[in-house]
Amino acid sequence: MEILVCVKRVPDPSENEIEVNKDGTDIEGDDLVYSVNEWDNYAVEEAIRIRDKVGGSVTVVSVGDEEAEEVVRREMAMGADKGILLSDDAFEGSDGKGIASILTAQVKKENYDLILTGALADDGAAQVGGMLAAMLDWPFASLVNFIEILDDKKIKVGREIAGGNQEMYEMDLPCVLSIQTGINEPRYVSIRGIRKVASLEIPVHTAGDLGISPESVGEAGANTKCLDYFVPELGDGARILEGSTDEIIDNLIELLKAKGGIK
């Protein structure tokens, strides 16, 4: 089975204190520590597990500048077989549809049975996976936390829905799945693995290589633009209710009545 996993280089929230720049147009980029998007890491791990069970290969692909190569190599050190970087000045400023268009062009150059993306990336829009599937006219499922390969034409997936419930689907291959965290436990990337892939050549595909018009992607082709970044104002904080369980319940009911939550 040929599996493609889409990964993204993002600021690591565990290593950075995110601040908005003075213009309110973006976050401060100086001295940020970057890593692979958390959801994408689970997608790569799941792809590796599928490959190990049924055979085939795993390719990771990233849209970004030359620095995005580091996350491609990291996921190869994790166990992916191949890596591809889609990089061109024309790609800068692409919105979700632009990114999906770039990925679609890459997919059409090869033959993949399954495409995995993270359910979310750093902007939280959760749109690239669905747009990619629509452009390819492939089946799609989001928030996937269970995958079983039935045969070379069918796949069974489970997805998380409201209330902690689970939906199960049988889908045709090829398809696109957006992976939820918790589907697995991503493996540790060893120093040995990093050294093993350090000298491997990562193919770089530009807009020309992919047959993409520069005007259709990047800022020129973006239909959505971020107008403002801001940090929400802090509220008054939490109120801790004390006393016995019955007293806490009575106080809570009175508070909800006072705030109009119940009558």
Rounded distance between C-alpha atoms, residue 182 and residue 41, angstroms: 11
The pLDDT assigned to 237 comes to 74
Query: Which CATH fold would you assign to the domain 2-221?
Result: Rossmann fold (3.40.50)
d(CA 50, CA 262): 50
Mean pLDDT, the chain, whole residue set = 91
What tens digit of pLDDT does each residue of 152-207 get? 999 999 998 888 889 999 999 999 999 999 999 999 999 999 999 999 999 999 99
Output the pTM of the full model.
0.85
Does 30 have pLDDT greater than 80?
A: no
User: Tokens standing for 262?
Assistant: 């119940």
If we measure between CA atoms, which residue out of 97, 117, 93 comes closest to residue 37? 117
Give φ, ψ of 57 to 5 degrees: -150, 160
Domain ranges (residues) in the chain: 2-221
How many Å apart are CA 75 and CA 55, to the nearest integer? 18
The per-residue b/e assignment along 172-211, b for 16 or more CB within 10 angstroms, e otherwise, is: ebbbbbbbbbebbebeebeeebeeebeeeebeebebeebe
- pLDDT tens-digit map of 220-257: 899 888 888 887 777 777 788 999 999 999 999 988 88
How many Å apart are CA 7 and CA 73, to the nearest integer? 11
Q: What is the pLDDT of residue 21?
A: 82
Residue 244's pLDDT is what? 93
Is the pLDDT score of 97 beyond 80? yes
